[in-house]
Amino acid sequence: MDTLTQIQTLVTFAWWLALDLCVLLYVVLDGADLGAGIFSLFVREPHERGAIMSAMAGTWDANETWLIVAGGVLFGTFPFVYGATFSYLMLPLALALWGMITRAVALEFRHLAHQRWLRFTDLAFGLGSLTTTFFGGMAVGAVLQGYPLTTTPGQVPTYVGGALRFISPFSLWTGAAAVIAVLLAGLLFVRARFEKAEPIRRQAASWTNGVFYLALVAVGVTLIVSARLFPWAQLRWFGPHMWLWALVPLAVLAVVVRMRAAMRAERDLAAILWFNAGVALMAGAMLATMYPWLVPGTWTIYTGASPAVSLFTFTLAMGGFIPIMLMYNAYQIWVFRARISALAAYH
């Protein structure tokens, strides 16, 4: 390996980490918004449903920007993976995009809706959140299973398969598990954003216990099924460093205990931070398990990377964008940190 190839390998690895960071930030930040939207389907009072929208009105667009940034990083640094994977996931990603557009329209135009259309707008917001979460979760499960590629010599490998190949028992399960996890994030968000005396906050608090244990079961089932389905996971988890991998669930369990204690003490911000720490731990463990695969059994981060010139050009053009996004997102969260009441729904 010559010097240029070593540099290219290092830059590719750095952009893989940046891609993972963007996806993680989207899941953590917009996941809470999506979960609150799902929760709104079960809120009876229209002004409380509107208040949920108002609670995220100052930050939701920046939260979703992380998904756009992740797509840009994937396109710029791993174009072969981008092309093949989007062909494979065309249907679930289109449905997830429909959900995003629907909830965005509902968020922006609810206050303009006539009274008789208000319930329809609220329903569109909740169902859009549910659709985005479920099909996004399905897409993750489908990617973990991999997909076949063409093997024509001298040509870029492309996806070969049908539009419905992404559907499997595992991908259906990951879609359902994503809904459970995101709902828990949304409940914690509602608890943290509303005044403690508000009825909607009390409703969210009463839901939290059941969804908390449901999320624990979902994580356990996903781990067990993954260990049985995927050879690349078995190789890492039950290999010579099994004792090291055993520390991961112990660390996650410690975080869960702290999150649970914060929930009981009604330290809502601390509960959210511990929840996000648990998500980050599990995401990091999954990436370490998959490495060097970007799509298990299909693409590694090195076989799917851009040529050197394109990679370095993209780095020079976009390398400073992610720190700016981080500062912008942090500023928005700080500005809109105060608790609100259901009166915030009125315009």
Q: Give me the pLDDT at residue 116, please.
A: 81
Burial of 239 (0-12, 13-18, 19+ CB in 10 A): exposed
Residues 169-195 have a mean pLDDT of 97
Q: Give me the pLDDT at residue 308, please.
A: 80
pLDDT band, very low/low/confident/very high, at 346 (cuts 50, 70, 90) = very low
Residues 278-288 have a mean pLDDT of 96
Alpha-carbon dihedral sign for residues 102, 105, 110, 113:
negative
More confident residue, 94 or 240: 94
Question: What's the mean pLDDT when you consider all of the chain?
Answer: 92
Burial of 220 (0-12, 13-18, 19+ CB in 10 A): exposed
Does pLDDT of 41 surpass 80?
Answer: yes
pTM here is: 0.93
Contact between 165 and 182 under an 8 Å Cβ cutoff? The reply is: no
What is the DSSP annotation of 81-101? HHHHHHHHTHHHHHHHHHHHH
Q: Give me the pLDDT at residue 344, please.
A: 65
Does pLDDT of 5 surpass 50?
Answer: yes
Does pLDDT of 250 surpass 70?
Answer: yes
Cα atoms in the Cβ-side hemisphere of radius 13 Å centred on 77: 30
Cα 100 to the center of its chain, rounded Å: 13
Contacts of 268 (CB under 8 A, 6+ apart): 188, 191, 192, 262
Lowest mean pLDDT among 32-46, 60-74, 333-347: 333-347
pLDDT band, very low/low/confident/very high, at 345 (cuts 50, 70, 90) = low
Residues 55-72 have a mean pLDDT of 91
Find out whether the peptide bond into 292 is cis, omega within 30 degrees of 0: yes
Q: What gap in Å lies between CA 270 and CA 328, rounded to an integer? A: 22
Does pLDDT of 40 surpass 60?
Answer: yes
Digit-coded pLDDT (tens) for 312-331: 888 888 888 889 999 999 99
Residues 153-165 have a mean pLDDT of 89
Q: What gap in Å lies between CA 338 and CA 194, rounded to an integer? A: 8
What is the DSSP annotation of 286-333? HHHHHTTEEETTTEETTTTSPPHHHHHHHHHHHTTHHHHHHHHHHHHH
What is the DSSP annotation of 57-73? TTTHHHHHHHHHHHHHH
What is the DSSP annotation of 23-46? HHHHHHHHHHHHHHHHHHTT---H
Q: Is 157 strand, coil or helix?
A: coil
Q: Which of 124, 128, 130 is nearest to 100 (CA)?
A: 128
